Structure 1
Amino acid sequence: MSHAAPSPIVDSHCHLDFPDFDGEHDALIDRARAAGVTRMVTICTRLRQEPQVRALAERFDGVFYAAGTHPMSAADEPMVTVDQLVALSAHPKFVGIGETGLDYHYTADSAARQAESLAVHIEAARQTGLPLIIHSRDADDDMARILTAEHRAGAFSCVMHCFTSGAALAQTALDLGFYLSMSGIAAFPRSADLRAIFAAAPVDRILVETDSPYLAPPPHRGKRNEPAYVAKTAALVAEVFGMDYPQFAARTSANFDRLFPKAASGPTA
């Protein structure tokens, strides 16, 4: 008995280079493809690891990559330069700038350096035309202020990755034309308030991601996450938008193509 192929979907944010996946990449990609995950973006969080992340993108069809300095690493990594990021963007599979942003939950003491790093990434996004990938935690007011001022100074595109912030920051991001990405957190039973924020957003500004190896959705919560599970998250959150899974998978994939044109699937029959 044959089964219909699963609806194609994109994992817009994962970390395939993390040691959690060492030695498993072939099986990991096979499981993702079996779940319908046709494309994924693996994110480099420290520029010195960019060669390993790039190698993964070069090795697998449908795997793209982005690079930047994660805000939690801003204090102990060399300050990135615009020229470095622009140079990386020449690679055909380099599709985004970051992740960058502000994290005051764990690393509030380096707030000034995080903001300096964020400004560099924003300028690289402007110059390359590639989307900025933002991590924001416990920094809603500063993040809204910086993104608004910077966008006024020169437009850029952006996704608020693994969005878990408040309604005000969500509205600021949407007003600037940015996208919000849903991780497994949005599928947790206690995340009703977060789901309400997403439900108030236009569905054409929504992406889905795993942020794997972190934040596995139910029923895998607390275990290692992986790109295949983006389909589980999407199946659980599609109802937020009054959609079934195939509709939501298609819509978020189209949204991804619009925001990440270098990773777009191209014309389909």
Structure 2
Amino acid sequence: MSPAETALPDLVDSHCHLDFPDLVGELPEVIARARAAGVGRMVTICTRLKNEPAVRAIAEAHAPVFYAAGTHPMSAAEEPLATVGELVALARHPKFVGIGETGLDYHYTAESRAIQQVSLRLHIEAAQETGLPLIIHSRDADQDMEAILAEGMARKPYACVMHCFSSGPRLAEAALEMGFTLSISGIAAFPKSQELRDIFLRTPLDRLVLETDSPYLAPPPHRGKRNEPAYVAHTARALAPLFGLSLPEFAARTTANFDRLFPRAAGAQQAA
């Protein structure tokens, strides 16, 4: 086996929730396991702005961790609407790398779709003003999601990642036409996810990044258990052969894509 084959892959977990109760109690160990698996950087996502100070503190305390903040669509009816000014102010922090997650979720919270749409538009405006990428959650809302993202793009271009992409081919095509990135989670490694894998295989390789969405959606062999950033290596290992790449090659390509999408985190040399 060559040195390249035995070396740790250069991976990034572009979306996790290190402040959630499942993970926050053992952060040093979680981060150490990630580093041991070749995951050099992680982006932890704040889903309610009232929790932003705690999420920011995690990023400040751990060199490999960056963060983003926004109002999750499932919380949009319960939380005060984020203002563009509030999001822009948060974005001044050097480890703040993205706006969101925001978006639309009509699966669990269809009754709040109107306020979700208002919130999404505010986050789009903040992404346009800051130049930081928008982080989108979309579930059972493909038509409205495409329309609102395109409406924003027509006003002013912005960068965007479709987090944990598991929607249909039409939304994938529309997102790619707008220059967006699709994020691969552990769902893509599930045996019955062939339709989703087909979408990713039709996607240009330079428009894909990896994530865990920890503590949710653990890939095999940990499916059904708590997820954590180290497990992005399992997803990468499962997907790399589909692209005809070795794990190190697939890791390098998706990490380069992460660096282009999240320039504030690009090339950061983190302490072990």
The verdict on a shared fold, with TM-score over 0.5 as the criterion, is yes
Secondary structure of 2:85's partner?
Answer: helix
Report Cα offsets for 1:135-156 as digits up to 9, x if no partner.
Answer: 0000001101111111011110
Aligned partner of 1:164 in structure 2 is 166
Q: Is 2:111 the partner of 1:109?
A: yes
Q: Distance in 2 between matches of 1:266 and 1:24?
A: 24
Aligned partner of 1:50 in structure 2 is 52
Q: Is 2:86 the partner of 1:84?
A: yes
Q: Where does structure 2 lack aligned partners over 5 or more consecutive residues?
A: none
Q: How far has the Cα of 1:22 moved from its partner?
A: 3.1
Which amino acid is the alignment partner of residue 74 of structure 2?
M
Q: How far has the Cα of 1:265 moved from its partner?
A: 1.2
Q: Distance in 1 between matches of 2:84 and 2:150?
A: 20
Q: Is 2:13 the partner of 1:11?
A: yes
Q: Which runs of 4+ in 1 moved over 3 A?
A: none
Report Cα offsets for 1:73-97 as digits up to 9, x if no partner.
Answer: 0000000000000000000000000
Q: Is 2:117 the partner of 1:121?
A: no
Larger displacement relative to structure 2 (241-250 or 78-87): 241-250
Secondary structure of 1:219's partner?
Answer: coil
Which amino acid is the alignment partner of residue 149 of structure 2?
L
Aligned pair partner of 1:235 in 234, 237, 242: 237
Aligned pair partner of 1:147 in 149, 161, 176: 149
Q: Distance in 1 between matches of 2:177 and 2:213?
A: 25
Q: Distance in 1 between matches of 2:170 and 2:16?
A: 26
Aligned partner of 1:98 in structure 2 is 100
Q: Distance in 1 between matches of 2:202 and 2:54?
A: 39
Alignment of 1:150-229 (within 5 A): 150-229=152-231
Q: How far has the Cα of 1:72 moved from its partner?
A: 0.2
Q: Distance in 2 between matches of 1:224 and 1:163?
A: 20
Q: Distance in 2 between matches of 1:154 and 1:22?
A: 37
Q: Where does structure 1 lack aligned partners over 5 or more consecutive residues?
A: none
Q: How far has the Cα of 1:7 moved from its partner?
A: 1.3
Q: CA RMSD, aligned part only?
A: 1.0
Q: Distance in 1 between matches of 2:208 and 2:198?
A: 13
Secondary structure of 1:57's partner?
Answer: helix
Q: How far has the Cα of 1:266 moved from its partner?
A: 5.3
Aligned partner of 2:28 in structure 1 is 26
Which amino acid is the alignment partner of residue 247 of structure 1?
E
Report Cα offsets for 1:242-265 as digits up to 9, x if no partner.
Answer: 211111100000000000000101
Q: How far has the Cα of 1:5 moved from its partner?
A: 3.6
Which amino acid is the alignment partner of residue 167 of structure 2?
S
Q: Distance in 1 between matches of 2:47 and 2:58?
A: 14
Aligned partner of 2:257 in structure 1 is 255
Q: Distance in 1 between matches of 2:157 and 2:183?
A: 20
Report Cα offsets for 1:202-254 as digits up to 9, x if no partner.
Answer: 00000000000000000000000000000111110112222111111000000
Secondary structure of 1:133's partner?
Answer: strand
Number of equivalent positions: 265
TM-score (normalised: structure 1): 0.97
Which amino acid is the alignment partner of residue 33 of structure 1?
R
